[in-house]
Amino acid sequence: MGLAPFALIVVLSAAAGIAVQVLGGTKSRYDALIVGVTAVFGMYFASESFPGSTLFSTITSFGPVWDGFVIVPGLVFGFVIATIAYIGTRETYRASTASA
């Protein structure tokens, strides 16, 4: 994978993390980081492992390939993994109600 697709992955993941931080109902300080990192992992993992896999061979031909980045599986898998991470962590943070 080239530098341009990886930069796109990082920018899209940062945008998703910022959107979750701004629009999310239950907020913690780490929502943007959790969603951003899992989205980067999901997109990179899908793009690097799906093309050579026999299990996912039917979806590797979905859409175009840009400089080694399989676009449709990469974006879809990144979205799914980031959504699962957000849903899994959004109820774990509680703001402290104790006063000093």
Mean pLDDT of 50-73: 69
In a domain, 46, yes or no: yes
Residue 38's nearest CA partner among 3, 12, 60 is 12
In a domain, 39, yes or no: yes
In a domain, 100, yes or no: no
Number of structural domains (the chain) is 1
In a domain, 75, yes or no: yes
In a domain, 8, yes or no: yes
Q: At residue 17, what is the residue type?
A: G
In a domain, 35, yes or no: yes
In a domain, 94, yes or no: no
Dist CA 82 CA 79 (whole Å): 5
Quote the pTM value: 0.72
Dist CA 54 CA 14 (whole Å): 31
pLDDT averaged over the chain? 78
What tens digit of pLDDT does each residue of 4-38 get? 888 988 898 888 888 888 886 666 777 888 888 99
84: containing domain: 3-89
What is the gyration radius of the CA atoms in the chain, in angstroms? Answer: 16
In a domain, 42, yes or no: yes
Residue 62's nearest CA partner among 94, 54, 70 is 70
